[in-house]
Amino acid sequence: MPAGGYRADLPSSDVWPELEKDSEAVLVDVRSRAEWTFVGVPDLSPVAREPVLLEWQQYPGMQVNGQFVGELKRLLDERGAGEDTAIFFLCRSGGRSAAAAAAMAAAGYSNCVNVSDGFEGPADEARHRGTVAGWKAAGLPWVQS
């Protein structure tokens, strides 16, 4: 198990039941605005919540958002989430979300979880995402604008 407040790396199929049973849990989607718009976002309406949408890296250049920790702390405070609240971090395939989870764990949050297979998962044999693993491939609820 990772050290500190970085609790685990879990596939999306294991995260959904945790979101269902813990009404205080928060899902943070750290992908880019373009990904949210054109690929879709998790639909948490079945568990009476909305995901937090906050970019870990910002376009153009994809530099790490230097305000990420402070912005997320503010957004979590607005939702009444404390440092022990379960926070699930999601990106396309698990890399950016792992970095975001580690950053929040380092900032004192004790229950940070990376969604290891991400929203779209790895590419399949035809180099398409969303079919092999991840939120979409698991059949979890999502919407597209």
Q: Is it the case that residue 79 has pLDDT exceeding 90?
A: yes
Report the CATH number of the 6-143 domain: 3.40.250.10
Domain boundaries, the chain: 6-143
Please name which of 98, 84, 131, 126 lies closest in space to residue 28, comparing C-alpha atoms: 98
For 20-66, what is each residue's pLDDT tens digit?
999 999 999 999 999 999 999 999 999 999 999 999 998 777 899 99
Q: Is the dihedral of CA 95, 27, 110, 56 positive or negative?
A: positive
Residue 115 clears pLDDT 80, i.e. is over it: yes
pLDDT on residue 3: 52
